[in-house]
Amino acid sequence: MEPKEIAELIKERFVSEVLDIKDFCDQVSVIVKKDRIKEIMKYLHSTPELYFDLLTDLCGVDYLGKKEPRFEVVYHLYSIKHRHMIRIKAEVADDECSIDSVVDIWAGADWHERECFDLYGIAFNGHPDLRRILMPEDWEGHPLRKDYPLKSDLGDMEWKGVKEVIEIAEKNKGYEVR
Amino acid sequence: MTAGTGEIKTKELTISMGPQHPATHGVLRVVLDLDGETVVKCTPYVGYLHRGTEKLAENRTYLSALPLMDRLDYISSMSNDIGYCVAVERLFGIEPPERAKYIRTIMGEMTRISSHIIGVATHALDIGAMTLFLYSFRDREWLLDLFEMTCGARLTVSYPRIGGVRNDVSQKFLDSLYKFTEEFPKKIEDEYETLIDQNRIWLQRTKGIGVISAEDAINWGLTGPTLRGSGVPYDVRKYAPYDAYDKVEFDVPIGKNGDVYDRYKCRMEELKQSNRIIKQCIEKMPTGPVMAPDAPKFTLPPKDKVLTDMESLIHQFVLITKGPMNAPEGEIYAATEVPKGELGFYIISDGTGKPYRLRLRAPSFVHVSVLPVLCKGGLVSDVIANIGTIDIVLGECDR
Amino acid sequence: MDSLETLIPAGILNIVIILAKIAVVVAVTMLHVAYATYFERKAIGHMQIRLGPMRVGFHGILQPIADSVKLFFKEDIIPAQADKPVFKISPLIPVFATLSSVAVIPFFEGFVIANINIGLLYIIAMSSLGAYGIVMAGWAANSKYSFLGGLRSSAQVISYEIAMGMSLVGVMIMAGSLNLNDIVKSQQEYWYGMYLIPQFIAYFVFMVAAFAETNRTPFDLPEAESELVAGYFVEYSGMRFALYYAAEYIGMIVMASMAVICFWGGWTIPPVLATAIPALEAVPGIVWFLMKVYFHIFLFYWIRATLPRYRYDYLMGLGWKVLIPLALANIVITSIVKFYS
């Protein structure tokens, strides 16, 4: 099916949810509200003529200062059977930074959602194991947000973790090597 | 024995495999809960090699983000570069010339061969067959020498460019490569398959291990040989051809049972198919330029032009300082079939010379996430077989 | 000799001779161990289209010496949480066990340190003693990897010991003796001069069990490099680490010697060959013996370069379900043949 037709189908079915449909380079994005995202996804996954069985990708985008609401969660869906693709974008606001998880539709969404949570701070409701994945467990902040500094703002000051490391080293002096 | 008053308390043994472990292909950490030798639970931890490639790329021009892609899957850097270039070209609406397309196809398939033989060989090494590992390095050496001959680098090549490739390949390169394609299939049959495929221990260790059904494999988002082992013929080269893949003939080998052996077999068959593609490309190779005519607007002009031609000097200056000026506003998802699976680039452009957002859909990342499914209920030795069979590179997984 | 005997009492002379023999055998064995590592690296290297050690001396001929000097001077690290006395003792056990089994091996006619009547049993007993070193090391290091390695090893050694012992019963029945000298001599009764032909099942079972006993590929599960890193000796370093290696190689030499003595006619050559080419008689027995041993050691390397590693459950299955029944069948057949002939 042509991507545009799919977009029209979604719009027909979820009139109040679809905000916009964009077409660029033969790739169609459907921008939707986040509230009924799971329903939309289930529809896309289970309808026989659409049958999007492969969740190619799931990622977040931060439009800080460009657009309101600030975040978007982008789903790339592909159907191996019908060989068509669609991009769904769900808008997520900064003050209510969460969206429903799609793990029970595509198991492969598990780590993508964890990554999105890790790097953007978008929480996924109903995710079985929402932990940081790429960054260390005790990391502060979400690195891919646009307001996250690219370089440390400490300047020449030493890294604040250094004190902690020295403390641990002092404590462990009690243990002998031999 | 008489029954005691208290029950015997048993507890699962938790061992942490990695990040420093010889069989985890880099810095993967897998925490295993063991009941005897049986794996009750398997939890992979990744991120030890996280370098923030996506964040870095957002702050670089399109051109200078290219070398970052080399460092993703460092065993098949050429494929990553090609994937990135294909994505950026589609965003900008550039069409590389025919010859460049063929060269890229050749390079991509050379990378596939070198990556697959390393993948199969390290897999065999993990299972204990050491000799194959060194045989594969001999053949890989030939390919790396050919890379060096063309672009001066063996591992981090940065050879493809937006709108083509950096320089044309020499006739010597093509002759040597053709000789390789003549000899390689015999090597696969005589050495690789004799050593492993007819070995009872190897068959015992791989058949029926780490089984995943076709539905589950798709549901988990697997791609590449890992998916094809389960019998799904999904291959980006066939489903959405890029470069010259629509002009060459090749088959997509698929497995049946979705176990370790089928995935291994798929990789071995793909070696032969890649060999076939390279051979066809050399035979059909058209003549002509290797850079798109409008490429100077996107890619650095040649150095001698810069020194003599005013226009080129301006292009060079603008490209270095600001990046490509006429990037359209929009977003694109472009996927290529790299040796590990589907490598996708999702680029959002805001019209400036730098990508607003560059998302990498790394196949290794998805493949690691399926590890608990493959390992559950198996033995410790099967964990090793499973890590080998999903063929991961942690540089790509952690980005 | 008259003057010597008058100077020193016969008992003391005996002890001196035995001590000298021990010194020679230990020195020769240790040298063999050192060069077995070199030979292994070279042989496997060439099988894998590389050269192996090339730097130290001509074609790396001095490499084993450099290695042992390095290992001697390395720091001996003991983990803080380890059970120290056990940790320190355990590497010695396999070395002592394997070295003392060399004592009963007849290298050539009349040369054996201890010509005891139960030589065969003694060697089997010693090789199972070595397993204690492995189990203790696995326990003492207080590391989960070495613990798993130790457990795997104890299970493996125990199950393969049975197969090995049973495979040798056939030889015992045919020779009617447990003395290794007698076993070699009794093989001369046949024109082909070795038990390899009538006892080929036993030989096969013995060789497989020998690979398992010495923890060599494809049965190197206790030290499976890619699974358990190094298995039971993962926490060892320096000389203690080297002792485990030494024990493995002495074990290989002992097992190869056993195979040669029990199945290949020891230092003798087949009578049919000796009558056909009388010149061969002039070659000293030790040459034949060592050639046969070297062939078996080469077999160990050859297999290592060819085969992948078994999985643990298959390994146990092979031991209990294939080898032991085979060995038992062999005993039955041998007994019947022996009884009726």
Count of beta carbons in the 10 Å neighbourhood of residue A157: 9
Q: Name the pairing type of β-strands A27-33 and A84-92.
A: parallel
| C175, C164 Cβ separation under 8 angstroms | no
B301/chain C closest Cα distance in angstroms: 44
The confidence band for A67, taking pLDDT boundaries of 50, 70 and 90, is: confident
A168/chain C closest Cα distance in angstroms: 17
> Is B129 in Cβ contact with C50 (below 8 Å)?
no
**What residue of B is the nearest CA neighbor of C307?**
B129
In this model, does residue C285 exceed pLDDT 70? Answer: yes
The confidence band for A158, taking pLDDT boundaries of 50, 70 and 90, is: low
Pick the residue of A22, A58, A113, A133 with the most B CBs within 10 A to test the interface with B by mutation: A133
- Hey, is the C-beta of C285 within 8 angstroms of any chain B C-beta? no
Average pLDDT for residues B44-68, to the nearest whole number? Answer: 86
Task: Considering only the beta carbons, identify the residue of B46, B331, B359 that sits closest to A134.
Answer: B46
Task: Considering only the beta carbons, identify the residue of B13, B125, B134 that sits closest to C226.
Answer: B125
Q: Give the pLDDT of residue C109.
A: 78
Percentage of chain B exceeding pLDDT 90:
1
Handedness of CA A9, A12, A18, A21 (dihedral sign): positive
Chain B residues interacting with chain C (CB cutoff of 8 angstroms): 13-15, 21-23, 37, 124-131, 133-135, 138, 195-196, 199, 201-202, 204-205, 379-384
B261/chain C closest Cα distance in angstroms: 14
The confidence band for B1, taking pLDDT boundaries of 50, 70 and 90, is: very low
> Is A175 in Cβ contact with C77 (below 8 Å)?
no
Please list, residue by residue across A19-57, b when 16 or more beta carbons sit within 10 angstroms of its beta carbon and e when fewer do: eebeeeeebbbbbbbbebbbebbebbbeeeebbbbbbbb
Tens digit of each residue's pLDDT (9 = 90 or more) over C38-94: 888 888 888 888 888 888 888 888 888 888 888 888 888 888 878 888 888 888 888
Q: What is the DSSP letter of C143?
A: -
The confidence band for C222, taking pLDDT boundaries of 50, 70 and 90, is: low
Q: Give the pLDDT of residue C64.
A: 87
Lowest mean pLDDT among A101-115, B290-304, C151-165: B290-304
Task: Considering only the beta carbons, identify the residue of C49, C224, C225 that sits closest to B134.
Answer: C49
> Is C308 in Cβ contact with B199 (below 8 Å)?
yes
Handedness of CA C1, C4, C6, C10 (dihedral sign): negative
Mean pLDDT value across chain A: 83
In this model, does residue A155 exceed pLDDT 70? Answer: no
In this model, does residue A177 exceed pLDDT 60? Answer: no
> Is A74 in Cβ contact with B220 (below 8 Å)?
no
Task: Considering only the beta carbons, identify the residue of A108, A112, A143 that sits closest to B219.
Answer: A108
Counting every residue, how long is chain B?
Answer: 399
Tens digit of each residue's pLDDT (9 = 90 or more) over C189-220: 877 777 777 888 888 888 888 888 887 778 77
Tens digit of each residue's pLDDT (9 = 90 or more) over C262-271: 888 878 888 7
> Is A24 in Cβ contact with B331 (below 8 Å)?
yes
> Is B59 in Cβ contact with A74 (below 8 Å)?
no
Residues of chain A contacting C240 with CB distance shorter than 8 Å:
none
Q: Which ranges of chain C does DSSP label H, i.e. alpha helix?
A: 2-7, 10-47, 63-73, 84-89, 92-101, 119-140, 144-175, 180-186, 200-213, 225-228, 238-263, 271-276, 285-306, 312-317, 324-340
> Is B126 in Cβ contact with C49 (below 8 Å)?
no
Tens digit of each residue's pLDDT (9 = 90 or more) over C87-146: 888 888 888 888 888 888 888 777 777 778 888 888 888 888 888 888 888 888 888 888
In this model, does residue B375 exceed pLDDT 80? Answer: yes
Tokens of A47: 């309808």
Q: pTM for this structure?
A: 0.84
Average pLDDT for residues A52-64, to the nearest whole number? Answer: 87
> Is B344 in Cβ contact with A57 (below 8 Å)?
yes
d(CA C77, CA C141): 11
d(CA B56, CA B130): 39
Mean pLDDT value across chain B: 85
Percentage of chain B exceeding pLDDT 70:
97
- Hey, is the C-beta of C217 within 8 angstroms of any chain B C-beta? yes
> Is B222 in Cβ contact with A56 (below 8 Å)?
no
Tens digit of each residue's pLDDT (9 = 90 or more) over C224-277: 666 666 677 778 888 888 888 888 888 889 889 888 888 888 788 887 777 888
Handedness of CA B114, B120, B122, B128 (dihedral sign): negative
| B349, B90 Cβ separation under 8 angstroms | no
In this model, does residue C7 exceed pLDDT 70? Answer: no
- The CA-CA-CA angle for residues B53, B58, B64, to 5°, reads 80
> Is B135 in Cβ contact with C48 (below 8 Å)?
yes
Which residues, numbered 6 to 45 in chain C, qualify as contacts with chain B under a Cβ-Cβ cut-off of 8 Å? 44
Tens digit of each residue's pLDDT (9 = 90 or more) over B310-348: 888 888 888 888 777 777 888 889 889 888 888 889 998
- Hey, is the C-beta of C48 within 8 angstroms of any chain B C-beta? yes
Residues of chain B contacting C307 with CB distance shorter than 8 Å:
128-129, 199, 201
Q: Give the pLDDT of residue B48.
A: 87
Q: Name the pairing type of β-strands B341-350 and A18-24.
A: unpaired
